[in-house]
Structure 1
Amino acid sequence: MSPQKEPLYHSLHPLHSLSRTSCLDYDILLCDVCGQELIFDTCHRCEPCKFVVCSKCVMAEKAQKDAATALKEELVIKFVHDGHNPQHTLTIQSRPAAFHCNACNTKKEDMFYQCDQCDFWIHKACTSLLETIDLPYLHHHKLDLVFSLPEKFYNYKYKCELCDKRIMQTDWTYHCSNCRYFIHIKCVPNSDQPSTQRLEVNVEEEATDSNILHLPMSHALTDPLKLLHSNNDPTTPGGGGDDNEQLEISHWSHDHLLFLTDVPQGDKINMPDIGCSTDPIMVCHICVRPLSIPYYSCKHDGCSFTLHKYCAELSRTLEHPLHPDHLLELVKQNYASLCYFCDKRCNTFMFQCKTCSFCIDVNCAFLPKIIKHKFHKQHPLVQRIGRLWKQCITCERRIIAGHYSCDACNVRLDWQCALRSPRLLPHRYCKGHEIPLTYPPIEDHPDDFYCEICEEDMYPKLPLYYCGKCKNSFHMHCLSREYKYENYVLEGTLSIPDHNHPLTYVRRKKVPKEVCFGCNGDINGLLFLECRSGNCPYCLCLECLPSGKRP
């Protein structure tokens, strides 16, 4: 004898049982639960009350009752979770509620567990997170679940790679320890499709405007006038060539005639592409950069005045977007003035405003107004000026002068990081190879980074120069030195109390590299002081001079 089926009841019609019937027996039937018209379906009906339920709503009612039964069984179970105090038990609550979850830090309505001993609440879904996830479109290593920030990462601020918010010590995250890669559990996208948030994808696009400079370059941008001249732009100083070159000129800034040199003359001019030499480097007195062909020079005895041809042809006045209200005038100085863009002093030529105190050195005046940079691939960066309480995104130092910014993303890039950090740089600690500019994360480097120059710990989430062969690390601003006196022209000698012999101002490059006896920094190609007494190797950068002896 087959077991008798229990009568079917529905929560919306609890007093009478429902009988199964065919919809074909009636003209029109509508489900009283979902409102759908029933034609070729079976349904359950209470004939006296004319209450009708479709088969789908019956199944949904049954599933809801089964879940309620399971929940009642779960209510008697005390649950201990690894993400909470092991001495405390969690109990599931019988109804969903909207609250702030201690695991994902979000507020949404869901079934939840509540701690029996303290004020700890957690979504039911958060109690069953996977211990390891694989998101290859985000990161090339698997990510492990942790219920708090590991203590070894307390020394720096780490941010979620998707929402860019700081990882707090109590945050539940998925992370890769070796790469220092963190994602909030609430930010983890669906595993079947890439997230639409900030992903590690290459969005670098070739600019349609060929005049936009793409950085970083293979070399530091220290000579913008030479770059403009090399592009052969007829609208720039010295660009496009000149069939009627003047062999001698009288320049407004100098008392003697200047004579053109348009072919190399031995090794007297040490340009960067000629190679290292022990001969001094001659510089243009306007831009204070190494001479290159063609240039003008003074032949008067004892006079070392020299000018690039394109510098000699600079206009005496300039309209500049960083100071649009007034015209700037090129002046020759008898003293040193502070450039408003690079925050360095220059003792030769400057563009100055006669109405106010604005000054900008010749090189900064011709820097690119818009750039594209690998540090911020999404948008071009626009040249700006001014002291900000904002940090540079690459070095996290406060911006005190010129910078490049993306206002849409509120991103600022210090001019030194933007223009003076090339893709590769040499250092004597890594002989025989150059050191690449590297972007985090650096694979399989779980140890902290330590700058070999300043001997300080390094924040591993910032770009750095890192040699994988020698395992040497360098701050960007340490390896690409920020020299205060790069825009100075000084001649003659100077005596200091720390050395017995007079020191001579000189610029030179030679092998092995020149190193300052004071700071041990690389001064190759920079203006420094050297001792020429016998075989004395003493040399000193101007930044290491006693305070009373500095220019």
Structure 2
Amino acid sequence: CLRVARKEMEIQHFSHHHPLVFIQDHSVAALCLGCEKPVEGWSYGCSQCEFYLHKGCAELELAPQIQHPFHPKHPLNLLPKSPYPSKFQGFAYNCGACQFDLDINCALLQSSIAANFPNSLHPHPLFFIQNHNREVELDCSWCQKPISGPFYHCSDCTYPFNLHKECAELPLEIQHPLNPKHPLTLFPDSLYPWDKNRCHLCCKEFRGFSYNCGACYFGLHINLSESWKEKEMEIQHFKHHHPLVFIQAHSVASKAAPCLGCQKPVEGWSYGCTQCEFYLHKGCAELELAPKIQHPFHPKHPLIFLPNSDRYSRICDLCDYHPCDRKHPLTLLSQPPTHPQICSCYLCRIQWKGFVYSCSLCNFDLTIDDVLFSPPTITVASHEHPWMLVSTKIYFLCDFCGTDGDHFPYFCATCHLIVHKNCISLPLHIMITRHHHTISLSYSFRPNQVEDWMCKICYEKVDISYGHYRCPASRCRYIAHALCATDKAIWDGTIMPKGYDERSEELVDEPWNLNTDVVEQIRIGELMVASEIKHSYHDHNLRLTFSGKTKDDDSECDGCTRPISTPFYSCEQCKSFLHKECAELPKEMPHPFHKHLLTLVNSHGECGYSWCRAYRRLYQGFSYRCYDVDCRFGIDIQCMLLSDTLKHPSHEHSLFVVHNNEGTSCSACFKRLYPWEVAYRCMKRCDFSLDVGCATLPLTAWYKYDRHALTLTFSDDSEPFQLYCDLCEKKRKPNRWFYYCADCDNSLHLNCAIGYLPYMKLGKKLKEYWHKHPFTVVKNIWNCPLCKVCGEVCNGQALECKESECNFTVHWNCLWDLRE
């Protein structure tokens, strides 16, 4: 007789009202209601209620109430599940007063207050977690890599803030070989918040902390700050007899330098020999080329790799002929051979484009791209037949995009289509924020084009005998070039499924997408207008005003922060105003400036303000932000109210949104636009462009010494000696826009009329990490104080530190010079 010691087969658990029975072999698919993971092996359960717990979860010794350092204000009570089920399921420690929850895995972390963590990098105290619970999956907020060991945690931040121990202990300042002139300082975000975080070494955008040099506009993300050593600063490349030194693009000679590997302009980081003016992209220089390959494009002979130094002295491994012999197999040559000028051999007649594998015998050459990245057959879901590579270099027009090619195309024998390799993957159905329907790729070609079609993205003619995207909805004439519609700045890469409902995708008027609840309505003619509303971002009801002024002439809209004007909503209990147009903004909406859906928010970071990504300016009030992964796009309401077309009084023709503005300057302020900036451009060959900042300038402004409104003026025929500003008494540049009152003959600079901070609310506070007190946005009209930095009068908008130990005023442009 075998005796088996029996354990307790039944328990009473705090999380369930029935006893839980021990289950040795759990065969029913179920989740543990303690940790939300599938139940496997031994468990406890109530089959009547379908309630199950892992044996380990059921036997956890959990105190009914704990005092936790992540929430020191109040004790946390153990609950069977969170009272806020949208957060997580399973056991939770909860503070009802603060609506604060901790799941069990986080509550069991061992922590202590981190000492000596620099407050300039994070405003809250951090907890050091010594023993990391593997059930808690975290990413480091600095390097964006998963955390597996000891780490630091902030419980005060709205969004999770966790740091590797190694990241938190990084030095605040380093000396780096790529920027030897100045030390690099660790910053919690990009040093230039109007720009994206971009590492100057790998040229990639990133999130998290960075090392920056403000004097050189140089930045590195922390993953590369220590990994780039001196030994990687110099290489010996087969294509050049001198060592190639790693250089920064801005340190190359002023003339444009092509990469001698791919013949494209050198941008970002590269290797080069300044003595010989020889440059290679970092990627081209580090390309790993096999010494011998067999390629299906030329199956007769292997392709032999020959370094530059001995390409005319090597003997062919296949047939023992000299490389200059016409029977030689394909040989990699880094430049054309030195032959007489009148030489007619094939090697002297081909068009050289960087690295080339060439066979003079067969009149045949291949680029590195052909060798490495062109398979003989490609099959894609968007086309029912396979694409076959044409292994002969020919000139052709791509049937999908309508542009020419001079390389190896792909051919569909069934459909008789010839296309670029990159065009094969064009999707059939896509959705872009420029249009409210799906648009579909059309290549049912028509021989004769009866009418002209205009691309709604670049506003140039569309030849419909080639592939293009058009809207299949009836009565909708939206059409775009294939390459315009799939441009990375326009399309987010999402492919719409076959049979997708192509009816209107308008979200604006959907009830769930509104920020207001109507309390009272009135009839005006045939229209019903909301005379009283409750807005999501205000505690009290707001009433509509159609005419008249506010009691305070400086009243500003809480949404767009511009001076209030009718019609507007106002709160009778507090000084709060919203333009009717701003109050009716939806929660989510697309915008032609960005490829993702944008969400309305009324919050800003620790500093108390945000930067508009469309035009690098500060703003407060409402904004629309993108919450797509790794996307930090956000714009103010002034930009959000713009559309893809603009009729501006400064120009006779309509202007259209353009995303690629490389080499373009604004026709109003003459500032050169960055390639990634959005601007409005005339498509009538006028060479007229407006950046978003100038496009959103108010058409009228007020001046303290003038009874009349100043008008935005676009030209001035005055003599040069008359070009002065009546406020600051400094010269105005000719051909620059200005504000003018014809009645009083007053002329003002743009910034003198509307201020340097036109979208910051008066009385609001902002915080900069290099100053211990917050600054208040003020508007000085009479008895203007002097700026603490430059010593000039702070006339108009400025920033004031009101603490008794400081008590000073400073221009916004001088604020950076206050860094301690």
- TM-score, with normalisation over the residues of structure 2? 0.28
Greater relative contact order, per chain length (Cα 8 Å cut-off, separation 6+):
1
* Alignment TM-score, normalising by the size of structure 1: 0.40
